[in-house]
Amino acid sequence: LNTWQIEETTFDPKSLHVGETIYTIGNGYFGTRGSFEEGYPGSTEATLLWGVFDSVEISKEELANVPDWLTVRLTVNGEHVRLDRGTILEFRRTLDVQRALLQREVLWRGENGLTLRLRSERFASLVNEHCGALRYSLTVEQDLPEAVEIEFWATFNQAVGNNNLLHWEMVDQGKEEASFWLHSQTRHSFVQLVQSMRLNTTTEGFEQEVLDLAGGIRLYGRLQVGETLTVDKLVSMYTSLDDGEPQANALKDLGLERSYYTLLGQHEQAWQAFWQQADILLEGDDKSQQAIRYNLYQLRCNASAHNSRASIAAKGLTGFGYDGHVFYDTEIFMFPFFLYIQPLIARNLLLYRYRLLDGARKNAQLSGHKGAQYPWESASDGQETTPTIVPQQNDGKPGLVLNGLLEVHISADIAFAVWNYWQVTGDDAFMRDSGAEMLLSTALYWSSRATYNSEQKRYEIQDVIGPDEWHIHVNNSVYTNAMARWNLQTALSILDWLQNDAPARREELVARLDLNESTLQHWQEISSHMLILQDQKTSLFEQFEGFFKLEPFDQGPYAGRYSSYQALLGVDPLQTHQIVKQADVLLLLTLLKEQFDLETKSANWQYYYPITDHDYGSSLSSALHAILACELSLCDVAYDLFSEGVLVDLENRDADSARGIHLGSCGAAWQAVVFGFAGLRFTPSGYTTHPCWPKDWKRLAFNVQHKGQNVHVDLRREDT
């Protein structure tokens, strides 16, 4: 097994869409699904650019699939070359994650009997994030008396949508020297996009013509048997969200000195640098080695190193799932990878949230609260974009979605990422200029959201949805209350830090956010008296008020199911039973790990682990659960959980990979290895590891960045 490559040697049209997701390439500026250049019936080709949203009715806005830059159409002796016609004699598709290069080789026989070898390779340049490059080649494999006629057409296919939804309108198109350019705009948000292309071929005897009215470049000529035509399609894309004039930028990028090889060489170097920092060496289990590398590849493909307005959607730029919206998946599940591997990207992810503070303030106002309430689903402006009505999973009828109103823990989750960033990087400037304001604004939200129960003399948070989304309108979610308390305490400590390190900034923030002494006392008061439901005898946390009184849920009858309990039973039955969608109390024990002893962790694990829907509840659970399992020395359980997470897309385990990569799971997989199996912890005097070895694992080695230092961890299993 080549642990740097994902490969398939047959093509199954039934898994067309899953394959398109798996073989996605990207660089954070854009992602392009692994559809075929020649097109294929029913394909969901897509190139998504971060930040390029257009409106949709049901959920405000979504990332708008741009005209397809891959499109190539060709005929050989008048016959269309396309994989749904003729016969595929050989097929091989390889994603080399080390070089971030997708290759396909097909031996194809047309209906007229002509046999061709078709090769293509493509990449999304990590050096120039605006550039995509495609090399397409065709060899006549057959013995024929005379040359064959080839016609080749390269275009930007505008007849694409987000599934059915068409977001772009053509503004203009034209040519400049050997380049063709297409200018489009989104239909509602009026983002301007210019895509340009150039074709290069070294094959002799082929003529090229830019047909700007027809919208592309035509290449034609004759090929002798045994000869190969190789065409490079170089593409550049700029939008009005970028600096400068899109058209000038897009044309400049295709200067003649740019060749496919130059671009590829730079690209490979950049990925080499990435892997030097990011790779995890895992000896003894090639399948996991391959899978973790694929997960890290996807994380990198979907994060932008150059754009401090960029975040990562739940499915990144890999598919239409969740409309390109950003959830807590980013801060809680993906963020730690970037924090320890590419802190500049981690910083960008936080700056995205910082820039949207105004939107979060509007959300708080709309719900009658102070401070900043981050949206459960976030897109371009920080306002809530969660759809309010969607077809229900069990019967397809319209159902209300309340997460946008009630799943408020995300504000504390973002605050938590801000704090962690500061702890791990020591980036005081960020904390002073951006982080502190986020911590204080979210604390202000919590202080107005918590209500005082004068009878019980305690603070409560009513009517929320916790991470376990199957229980709606719950009171005093342990996760939510504990994270809110943490948020308030941390905000107070940041004010102390500012007092010493940046008193002017403190004054400015205190004045602007109206944080007078009584406000701060109130924060202290809430922190001290926040209700955290825990049975002192058993150490068990009660997920929310009344959870322990719900009916037990018998999972027995559902063995062998292929979908989540919610999809099977609908919303109501789950609401009244002790069945948990995903890590909730256990997530809290993982995030705030220093606050809880091993006994508490063990007791809660034993209670909550069995009543969680590990198979189909949420892809966020599996790998994350592994961290706690390792801490409790349940190494085989941890391994199974990790496998479930790290293979969720490669093996389409949730049967929904067609909608895009589960990037939260990719991030959780990295955390499982580093914090779970390696047991890495930083202490004031350095770091410690506490390995938990799955059966076959022999060695685990990786790097992390900590306070500007590179830390190389290399663990080898001692024979027992």
Residue 593 is classified by DSSP as: G
Which among 564, 552, 677 has a CA at the least distance from the CA of 621?
564
Which C-beta is closer to a second copy: that of 87 or that of 633? 87
Q: Which two structure tokens, joined as six digits, stand for 264?
A: 């590829």
Which among 583, 313, 563 has a CA at the least distance from the CA of 466?
583
Site residues (vs a second copy, CB under 8 A): 39, 41-42, 56-57, 73-75, 80, 151-153, 155, 158-161, 164-172, 174, 187, 211-216, 218, 388-389, 391, 398
Name the phi and psi angles at 132, rounded to 5: -115, 145
- Measure CA 252 to chain center: 31
Q: Least separation, in Å, of the C-beta of 161 and a second copy?
A: 4
Which C-beta is closer to a second copy: that of 191 or that of 301? 191
Which C-beta is closer to a second copy: that of 159 or that of 559? 159
Q: Least separation, in Å, of the C-beta of 428 and a second copy?
A: 46
Q: Least separation, in Å, of the C-beta of 455 and a second copy?
A: 37
d(C-alpha 588, C-alpha 624), whole Å? 11
526 neighbors 459 (Cβ within 8 angstroms) = yes
Which C-beta is closer to a second copy: that of 109 or that of 175? 175
Which C-beta is closer to a second copy: that of 284 or that of 570? 570
DSSP assignment of 467-489, as one string? SSTTS-SBSS-HHHHHHHHHHHH
Q: Least separation, in Å, of the C-beta of 585 and a second copy?
A: 35
Choose the catalytic residue: 469, 542, 631, 644.
469
- Per residue, the 3-state secondary structure of 513-538, as one string, reads CCCCHHHHHHHHHHHHHECCCECCCC
Is 121 known to be catalytic? no
Q: Least separation, in Å, of the C-beta of 386 and a second copy?
A: 14
Could you tell me the CA-to-CA distances from 149 to 79, 224, 374, 611 in Å, in that order?
10, 9, 59, 65
Which C-beta is closer to a second copy: that of 68 or that of 329? 68
Containing H/E element for 709? strand 709-716
Containing H/E element for 551? strand 551-552
Which C-beta is closer to a second copy: that of 255 or that of 391? 391
- Per residue, the 3-state secondary structure of 68-123, as one string, reads ECCCEEEEECCEECCCCCCEEEEEEEEEECCCCEEEEEEEEECCCCCEEEEEEEEE
Q: Least separation, in Å, of the C-beta of 602 and a second copy?
A: 47
User: Identity (one letter) of the amino acid at 618?
Assistant: S
Q: Least separation, in Å, of the C-beta of 133 and a second copy?
A: 21
Which among 149, 170, 181 has a CA at the least distance from the CA of 69?
181
Q: Give helix then strand counts, H and E, for the chain.
A: 22, 30
85 neighbors 111 (Cβ within 8 angstroms) = yes
Name the H helices within 222-285.
246-252, 260-278
Just list the catalytic residues: 469
